[in-house]
Amino acid sequence: MPALERSLKTEAVVIRHAEMGEADRLLTLFSRDAGIIRAVAKGVRRIHSKKAGHLEPFTRVSLMLARSHELWIVTQAVALDLYLPLHEDLILTGETAYVLELIDRFSYEEGENRNLYRLLIDTLERLSRGDPVFTAVHYFELHLLDQVGFRPQLFNCVRCKEEIQPQDQFFSAVQGGAVCPKCGHQVPDARPITMESLKYLRNFQRTTYPRLVQSVPSPLVEREVESILQYYNTFLLERRLNTPGFLNEVRKKREA
């Protein structure tokens, strides 16, 4: 988006807000047309503010924004979807906060990614209507990793490149994917993963959501998939924090 743009009409999901001055809020939004945006909502903490109810976290909102100096100011806000069930159940609230946290940390300020926006609102809709949380959240996670350039390699060993055989394997965050049993001990950060869990991770990459939602993972698979993804995301995000502009470089390389 050109830096000189004076106004913007878009829709967005409110990630969070912070109090600002006497009556204002600073919003962090993930928008359809400009990725992450920070914008000021003036006067929303006043009792009679009409905008306030439309700008709560987790809400999908239609927005008019105007640029004032370096800041975006919200001039109009109309809620499109409140996703009420996400506020009414502690587990769903926690999972939604996790999804939005990943969006915030993996995406770019004012960098458009419509596919990622679509994926986000599909995920909020799925969680709201009571789909299995494990499937909705990890489908989101694997597809987010695709969108931001960190799709894990799960079909060939990341070290020797040989096709993964149907047996227990290893996973390396540093190398970005599956490591075969022969190479497992040569890769310092490799962690064991059962074939069943690896299959599940692959299915998140290649199976359509309506088919995935019909399968029920075992508790072991749930635990393993969660722990491997958490390990991988933590590694990626720490590396990003240590290396400013790292994600931008990766994206440029992908586009080249």
Does 15 interact with Zn ion (rule: CB under 5 A)? no
With CB under 5 A as the rule, give the number of residues binding Zn ion: 5
Binding mask 122-141 for Zn ion (x = CB under 5 A): --------------------
164 part of the interface to Zn ion, by CB under 5 A: no
- Our finding on whether 159 is near Zn ion (CB under 5 A) is yes
Check binding of 183 to Zn ion (CB under 5 A): yes
Q: How far is the CB of 180 from Zn ion (least distance, A)?
A: 3
- Part of the chain binding Zn ion (CB under 5 A), chosen from 89-97, 124-132, 155-163, 247-255: 155-163
The verdict on 154 binding Zn ion (CB under 5 A) reads no
CB nearer Zn ion, residue 19 or residue 189: 189
Of 33-41, 51-59, 122-130, 174-182, the window that binds Zn ion (rule: CB under 5 A) is: 174-182
Which residues share a beta bridge with 11? 62
| 165 counts as binding Zn ion under rule CB under 5 A | no
Query: Does 157 sit near Zn ion (CB under 5 A)?
Result: yes
Return the number of the residue (37 or 180) whose C-beta is nearest Zn ion. Answer: 180
- Distance between CA atoms of residues 92 and 99, nearest Å: 10
Find where tokens 């050109």 sit.
2
Question: At CA 143, angle to CA 233 and CA 115, rounded to 5?
Answer: 125
CA gap 169, 162 in Å, rounded: 12
Contact window for Zn ion (CB under 5 A) among 55-63, 158-166, 198-206, 222-230: 158-166
Shortest reach from residue 198's CB to Zn ion, in Å: 14
Return the residue of 160, 195, 220, 241 that touches Zn ion, per CB under 5 A: 160
Of 127 and 180, nearer to Zn ion (C-beta) is: 180
Does position 241 interact with Zn ion (CB under 5 A)? The reply is: no
Structure tokens at 52: 């306030």
Strands 71-81 and 35-41: parallel
Q: Which stretch binds Zn ion (CB under 5 A): 13-21, 59-67, 173-181, 226-234?
A: 173-181
Residue 180 touches Zn ion, criterion: CB under 5 A:
yes
Binding site for Zn ion (CB under 5 A): 157, 159-160, 180, 183
